[in-house]
Structure 1
Amino acid sequence: MPVPAPVLYPPFNIVRLSHVEYRVTDLDRSRAFYVDTLGLQITHEEPGLLMLRAMEERGHHCIILREAKAADVAVLGFKLFDQPDLERAAAFFAGKGLPVDWVERPFQGRTLLTRDPWGIPLEFYVKMDRLEPIHQSYKLYSGVRPLRIDHFNMFASDVDAAVAFYNEMGFRVTEYTEDAETGRIWAAWMHRKGGVHDVAFTNGRGPRLHHSAFWVPTPLNIIDLLDLMSTTGWVDNIERGPGRHGISNAFFLYIRDPDGHRIEIYCSDYQTVDPDLEPIKWDLKDPQRQTLWGAPAPRSWFEEGSLFDGADVAEPVLKAQPIVAP
């Protein structure tokens, strides 16, 4: 299927991705990973719950860690432009026969909770409590010096259908991978905020969350994190990288938290603000697609992901196989 033309005047205006809530089985261990090792800042703490932000963020939180018996993903959050967009979003999802619930969230204004057609839990809001800036509080910088949350990547059982639905909401395709034999999309990167992506979809058993990503200042921050993780008991949590993607041109590292949730540390991609920017197409068998330097990803990167609460996982429609590291 061809990549759909961008919807420049969507039914409601999504500004950007905002936050993710992870359920974790050992909050103290997760705190050691996200706060003590990565360097995210605590904005709220209570028994069984941590809320965190990165260094450039003024919104109250970008990650919620909630202790639970089993690890999964409770919700992905997005910020809307203005209050009327909340009503328009509710009408859009209701018109698709999808759930519409108004929920109370701490430190957040009126919030719409819904799901996409595959069951991914999504929430939309306009106002979140603003905090004082800390981007020049350099004494707080530690770990990998995370500046902001950048994107979500999801496994999708039908990437073409996922791209069509999120395109209708105004996400624009920047780059995509096509399976030459079928003409179907194997993966796609889609944005709202003017980077390479706010959301991405990768062919696989889905829906599952492949990873959440954080933007850092330079590749040297990633090297520093690798040195830190390898000497503080986290070496086995390093999954892939460092390297440079062909897609997005980003310098990357993939790591796993104590429950296996995958986190990408990421920098050096490019702006995609122009509404008429043409998507870049990659062939699935191009070895530089995954890593510009040619190294393929490990099998775990294609097969393992985090379950979404309440979503049933289906096998992928497309059976094409990428290059996998031996």
Structure 2
Amino acid sequence: MAIPAANLYPPVNIVRLSHVEFVVRDLKASRAFYVDTLGLQVTFEDSQMITLRALEERGHHCLILRKGDEPAASHLSFKLFDEKDLYAAQAFFESRGLPVQWIDRPFQSRTLLTSDPHGTPLEFYAKMDRLPPIHQKYGLYKGVKPLRIDHFNFFMSNVDEAVAFYNELGFRTTEYTEDEVTGRLWAAWMHRKGGVHDIAFTNGRGPRLHHVAFWVPTPLNIIDLLDLMATTGYVSNIERGPGRHGLSNAFFLYVRDPDGHRVEFYCSDYQTVDPDLEPLKWSLKDPQRQTLWGAPAPRCWFEEGTPFQGVAIKEPDLKATPIVAP
């Protein structure tokens, strides 16, 4: 299936991704990982929830940790340009027969909860509480020094359908992987904010969240984090990397939190603001697609992910196989 032409005038003006909510079993263990080890900043906490932001962010949070019995992702959240876009989003999702619900969320304005056609829970809002800047409070820079949330990647049972739907919402494709036997999409990277991606789709049992990624200042911060994790009881939480992706050109590291949620640290991708930028095509069998240099991805990286609460998981339509580490 061909990549659809970019929709430059979508019905809803989505600015960027905003945050994800993880259900975690032990808030104390999660706090030790995300705050004391990785370096995210606490903006609120009680016995049931912790909200976190990265060092360049002015919004109240980019990650919510909520106490629960089983690890899961509650929803993926996106910021809209203004309040009018909330009603445009409501009309868009209703016109496609998808559920819509107005909900109240702490620290943000009126919020629309809905889902994509595969059942991925999506949340849209226009305004979030603003906090004082901390990007020049260098005494707070700990761990990997996370600057901002960068993207979500999730498993989809049909990547072609996902790309077509999110293209309607104005996400533009920057890079994609095509299975040369069937011509189907195996993966795709799409953006709103002018980086390589706000969202990405990987062929697999889905919908499930593959990872959430944070932008860090330099590759050296990733090396520092590896040293820290290796000597503070987290060496087994290092899953993949460091290395450099062929796709996106990013320097990367993947780790798993105490509940198995996957987190990427990421820098050095490229600008994509030109509306006529042509997407880059990769072959599924190109070994430098996933790893320009570094060890190949382990099997768990292709098979394990975080389920969305209450969402049924489907087997992938495409049975193509990527290159997997032995």
TM-score of the pair, normalised by structure 1:
0.99
Q: Secondary structure at the match of 1:33?
A: helix
Equivalent residue number for residue 40 of structure 2:
40
Structure 1 partner of 2:207: 207
Residues 52 and 64, structure 1, Cα contact 8 Å, conserved in 2: yes
- Corresponding residue number in structure 2 for 1:174: 174
The Cα of 1:158 is off from its aligned counterpart by 0.1
Opposite residue 280 of structure 1, the aligned amino acid is L
Q: Contact conserved, 1:299 with 1:324, CA < 8 A, in 2?
A: yes
Report the Cα offset of residue 215 of structure 1. Answer: 0.1
**Per-residue deviation, 1:294:** 5.9
Counterpart position of 1:279: 279
Would you say the 8 A contact 1:287–1:295 is kept in 2? Answer: no
C-alpha separation in 1, matches of 2:210 and 2:203? 10
Q: Check if 1:244 corresponds to 2:248.
A: no
Match of 1:72 in 2: 72
1:153 aligns with 2:153: yes
* Structure 2 residue identity aligned to 1:61: H
Task: Name the counterpart of 1:299.
Answer: 299
Return the alpha-carbon distance in structure 2 between the equivalents of residues 21 and 257 of structure 1: 14
- Is 1:151–1:199's contact at 8 Å kept on the other side of the alignment? yes
2:59 corresponding residue in structure 1: 59
**Corresponding residue of 2:115:** 115
Deviations 1:228-279 (A, max 9, x none): 0000000000000000000000000000000000000000000000000000
Q: What SS does the aligned partner of 1:225 have?
A: helix
> How far apart, CA to CA, are the structure 2 residues paired with 1:170 and 1:226?
37
Q: Distance in 2 between matches of 1:60 and 1:241?
A: 30
Alpha-carbon offset, residue 295 of structure 1: 3.2
Q: Contact 1:282–1:289 at 8 Å: present in 2 too?
A: yes
Aligned AA (1:191): H
Give, in whole Å, the separation in 1 of the partners of 2:162 and 2:254.
24
Please tell me whether the aligned partners of residues 23 and 65 of structure 1 are also in contact (alpha carbons under 8 angstroms): yes
* CA–CA distance in structure 2, aligned partners of residues 15 and 294 of structure 1: 33
Give, in whole Å, the separation in 2 of the partners of 1:81 and 1:257.
Answer: 32
Q: For residues 11 and 116 of structure 2, what CA distance do their matches in structure 1 show?
A: 15
Coordinate RMSD, CA, aligned:
0.5
> What is the count of residue pairs matched by the alignment?
326
Would you say the 8 A contact 1:102–1:111 is kept in 2?
Answer: yes
Question: Amino acid of the residue matched to residue 226 of structure 1?
Answer: L
Runs of at least 4 residues off by over 3 Å: none
Amino acid at match of 1:296: P
For structure 2, list consecutive stretches of 5 or more residues without a partner in the other structure.
none
Matched residue, 2:19:
19
Q: For 1:295 and 1:137, how far apart are their aligned partners in 2?
A: 36
Separation in 1 of the partners of 2:296 and 2:41?
A: 33
- TM-score, with structure 2 as normaliser: 0.99
